Structure 1
Amino acid sequence: MCGRFAITLPTDAMARLFAATPANDLPEAVRYNICPTNPVAVVTSDAGARHLRPMRWGFLPHWYKTPTAGPLLINARAETIAEKPAFRAACRARRCLIPATGFYEWTKTEAGARLPWYIHRRDGAPIAFAGVWQAWEAQDQAFVTCAIVTTRANQPMSKIHHRMPVSLPPEDWPLWLGEAGKGAARLMEPAPDETFAFHRVDPAVNSNRAAGPALIAPVEA
């Protein structure tokens, strides 16, 4: 699962990293507590031309009559994405990359308190989540929406949560974006065990109103 994440790359750096043309209406780039329904910057490819464009995090299937007509689909399970009616068309034709610097997961104490953890690449490089997207329109409302693809956790991550987002290295971006033919399904696997590191962070991030770099600073476990 991935229910919150952070991005600390400026827009121009994201555009250069993904060799993508940035839209003029992208959300603020540096944010430490991105929550479901927030706008996010997403990389898509159209005939090999990459674009960095804004989307609403929370996939809306075309049959929803309103944005709240069903569950908010922030994640798509790799194991069933090709079969689920909500995602199967997007999985074939509307795949994307969602840039991040890190993401959060939670464990619980015996007393039920939620303890947040920040997960990031060991080498400090940005993360590219595998995603799918969908344009939605009804009753004079229109959104372009996305979901993050998740898979089973690798061994280190399983200490925190049984799921993790699919993250793709640069050499796999063309295949996921549909620029390098077919076979993207093989990419929906856990990252190698050595990819990520994680540390406890302040419970302040439990609030979706919290902001600022202190949210990702380590605290004593």
Structure 2
Amino acid sequence: MCGRFALTATPDRAAAFLGLPELEDFPARYNIAPTQPVLMAIAGLPRAPGSNLPDRQPMLVRWGLIPAWVKDTREFPLLFNARSEGAAEKASFRAAMRHRRALVPASGFYEWRQSGGKRGQPYWVRPKHGGLVAFAGLIETYAEPGGSEMDTGAILTVNANADIAHIHDRMPVVIDPQDFARWLDCRTREPRDVADLLRPAQLDFFEAVPVSDLVNKVANTGPEIQERAMVEPEPEKARRRKPGADDSQMSLFQQ
């Protein structure tokens, strides 16, 4: 299984998009992978009357959620994604869905088309009109046995729309800017109150650009991994699928 996305916007643009205070400087990141730190935004403290303080705050989160009840992380799978269809009931995500919903800013994500049961052609999936998107995220603070705490997170997924389904059957949940406040409001809105936001992106929102296999290696972190690549036609055998074949393996956003 592989997971990658990118955040190449400047800190000022990311802060303005999410409605955050000024962010510390950070470099463009072209190949973000699980276990690495990612920027997320959560609802902040309620504003006092007449206050100019922002009501959202940034967090640096390890990509790979660890539920608070886990005893031994070595025996627990890396939950960098959460299926939105059952997240509100699943033990691993239930508390985060109720109390710690977040936004994950991104310039786009990568997905791989399957070929013969193996990871095949990679694609850079980006907003067709440019700019940033916000994926639906979840945060869980894990207390390590030694007493230190670590903020961890996951990205929610949903069935892919027709723009992406020819590559893979899952895609990240995109929260529209007009819905940011509602998604982040964990004080007055329960998971059932925001369930309608867990839907595929609208058609024609994303475009999928074929890229080279440079993105397959985490060590490759430059802009060249997003350059358009030539795609060779798939062999006839690769295009044939057995009845009941399952393409759910090796997804970018799957759990």
Question: Same fold, TM exceeding 0.5?
Answer: yes
Give the length in aligned residue pairs. Answer: 219
Larger strand percent = 1
* Per-residue CA distance 1:136-171 (angstroms, 9 max, x = gap): 012224210110000001111100000000011100
C-alpha root-mean-square deviation of aligned residues, in Å?
Answer: 2.0
Q: Give secondary structure in 2 for the equivalent of 1:157.
A: coil
CA distance in 2, matches of 1:194, 1:33: 24
Is 2:162 the counterpart of 1:155?
Answer: yes
Contact conserved, 2:101 with 2:186, CA < 8 A, in 1?
no
CA distance in 1, matches of 2:112, 2:197: 26
Q: Aligned ranges for residues 1-221 of structure 1 at < 5 Å?
A: 3-22=3-22, 28-48=26-46, 49-110=55-116, 112=118, 114-140=120-146, 141-178=148-185, 181-182=188-189, 183-221=193-231
Q: Can you give the 5+ residue segments of structure 2 that lack an aligned partner in the other structure?
A: 47-54, 232-255
Q: Give secondary structure in 2 for the equivalent of 1:215.
A: helix
Change (3 A) 1:60 1:168: same
Contact conserved, 1:22 with 1:52, CA < 8 A, in 2?
no
Change (3 A) 1:186 1:90: same
Contact conserved, 2:125 with 2:206, CA < 8 A, in 1?
yes
Structure with larger Rg: 2
| Letter of the 1:205 counterpart | V
Contact conserved, 1:2 with 1:104, CA < 8 A, in 2?
no
Contact conserved, 1:106 with 1:117, CA < 8 A, in 2?
yes
* Per-residue CA distance 1:82-133 (angstroms, 9 max, x = gap): 1100111110110000000010000133494621111000110201000110
Q: Give secondary structure in 2 for the equivalent of 1:149.
A: strand
Q: Can you give the 5+ residue segments of structure 1 that lack an aligned partner in the other structure?
A: none
CA distance in 2, matches of 1:142, 1:47: 21
| Letter of the 1:133 counterpart | I
Change (3 A) 1:111 1:36: closer
**Scaled by the length of structure 2, what TM-score is found?**
0.80
Contact conserved, 1:150 with 1:163, CA < 8 A, in 2?
yes
Deviation at residue 65 of structure 1 after TM alignment: 2.5
| Letter of the 2:205 counterpart | T
Q: Which residue of 1 aligns with 2:249?
A: none
Give aligned-pair identity as a percent: 37
Deviation at residue 7 of structure 1 after TM alignment: 0.5
* Per-residue CA distance 1:31-76 (angstroms, 9 max, x = gap): 1000000001111112341011211000001122343330100011
| Letter of the 1:42 counterpart | M
Q: Give secondary structure in 2 for the equivalent of 1:16.
A: helix
Per mean C-alpha deviation after superposition, the further-off stretch among 44-53 and 156-165 is 44-53
Change (3 A) 1:179 1:21: farther
